[in-house]
Structure 1
């Protein structure tokens, strides 16, 4: 039974990934969220999938190192065979339409903390569990916004968010090659422009520069899961869209 752990699973893409993965009766899914009891989506899934081995819900506030450590300890007890797929999905978006002169530095620091530093902390704590597994995959949900080559196409929206995603891309490019020597596959995935609260922030500006309208959470999740399942060890470290096509760095 392949095992998956998803951060930021209370809503949006994270919740969509949990829903999609659970459709395969062979999968075991650990959904983590800052406050699971307040997530209507997770509570509905708990009722739909009462088997506590198929769906495990853990509290994990990625801004708190003690939460990350506790979640890893809990996961280790639940997964004696290791964690097959770690999906770093949790992220925040601020300063959506702010220009360089308008960026709130305090909000930017929090964005850097959640979107980059927390990813690093989660990676370090969960990597030993991934190493014990059969599939050994680490997935980072990134964004086309983090592409340096494509950056001039989106100059007016999400500047600080783009910086954090470029940072995650660099981290993954580095750790991916190191961990490849230990048999671990690392992939970055752009989920598409998704119709979530975060994805639609700045919609009026985004729609002028995006080639296609936003897609549903379900469509995004289906694509991401397909990419994860089809990813091979030799694919380390690729930056792919939810359709499996390469994205320029």
Structure 2
């Protein structure tokens, strides 16, 4: 059995991972969600798939993470093969703000950066630290993997090439979490553990924009125009969560410990973000 812990599993990419991986009976899935009561699709999947276990935990709350780690420990005999850090924070509020727009709004700057870093960087560190003993035990037999879902917004060249001046605090937090993988790699480079930042591509996590308000729809359209201007060869297609997950898992299956510390795309390269 291959054991997987996936955070942020209640929707979008996280739910896509659980659906795809649970179809293989050789996988045992631990799906982490902040709230079981709002994870209807995930609970339905758990009721149908014996290898899916839905667990409630907030990645910013170490106590809840430790409770979940104990469940995983007992179920696997003390090991964990793959940790996918998918849980993240992306607030639509001030999503179209550039950094200079915080002039005179420094309290909002503090609030936004704190919220994004608390989840997208610090939450990932806390999650890795809690599950690290189980991963190190797994690494004694085969390559253990820690995959953190990042974003093109965390790449310096991409921001400049596409004039992506907004989503500023989010982009800062994603750049920071890319460094997290490098730091863990430097610390555990002599152990059989891979730490990687992985971009999922440009994914429609709202399902063809259902439920999106007018501002969000306009933002999607603006992003497509800017991305096409920066990458003229891109066809403008937004990936479904299923398409993104399929591509990412194919890339993950080919990784070796030599890839540790990198930030790569769902295609397995370093700049083909779309």
Task: Compute the TM-score of the two structures, normalised by the length of structure 2.
Answer: 0.84
Counting only pairs closer than 5 Å after superposition, residues 1-80 of structure 1 correspond to structure 2 as 1-49=1-49, 51=50, 54-80=51-77
Instruction: Return the offset for 1:46.
Output: 1.5
Q: Name the structure 2 match of 1:119.
A: 124
CA deviations over 1:38-73 (Å, ceiling 9, x no partner): 212102212321x2xx11111011122221222222
User: Structure 1 residues 199 and 62 mapped into 2: Cα distance closer, same or farther (>3 Å)?
Assistant: farther
Secondary structure of the equivalent of 1:31?
Answer: strand
CA deviations over 1:188-246 (Å, ceiling 9, x no partner): 11001100139974212211122332110100011111112221122212222112222
Counting only pairs closer than 5 Å after superposition, residues 177-196 of structure 1 correspond to structure 2 as 177-196=186-205
Q: Name the structure 2 match of 1:174.
A: 183
Q: Distance in 1 between matches of 2:54 and 2:143?
A: 22
Instruction: Return the offset for 1:122.
Output: 0.8
Range 35-44 or range 186-195, more displaced: 35-44
Q: Distance in 2 between matches of 1:194 and 1:220?
A: 7
1:136 aligns with 2:144: yes
Instruction: Return the offset for 1:179.
Output: 1.6
Range 108-117 or range 197-206, more displaced: 197-206
Secondary structure of the equivalent of 1:97?
Answer: coil
CA deviations over 1:65-102 (Å, ceiling 9, x no partner): 22122222222112215100011110011331112244
CA deviations over 1:21-52 (Å, ceiling 9, x no partner): 11222111110000123212102212321x2x
Q: Which has the larger radius of gyration?
A: 2
User: Structure 1 residues 192 and 199 mapped into 2: Cα distance closer, same or farther (>3 Å)?
Assistant: farther
Q: Distance in 2 between matches of 1:139 and 1:177?
A: 16
1:227 aligns with 2:251: yes
Contact 1:154/1:209 (8 A) holds in 2: yes
User: Structure 1 residues 180 and 26 mapped into 2: Cα distance closer, same or farther (>3 Å)?
Assistant: same
Instruction: Return the offset for 1:154.
Output: 3.8
Q: Distance in 1 between matches of 2:208 and 2:115?
A: 19
Q: Name the structure 2 match of 1:145.
A: 153
Q: Unaligned 5+ residue runs, structure 1? A: none
Q: Distance in 2 between matches of 1:34 and 1:130?
A: 22
Contact 2:73/2:79 (8 A) holds in 1: yes
Secondary structure of the equivalent of 1:188?
Answer: strand
1:209 aligns with 2:218: no
Aligned length: 246
Task: Compute the TM-score of the two structures, normalised by the length of structure 1.
Answer: 0.92
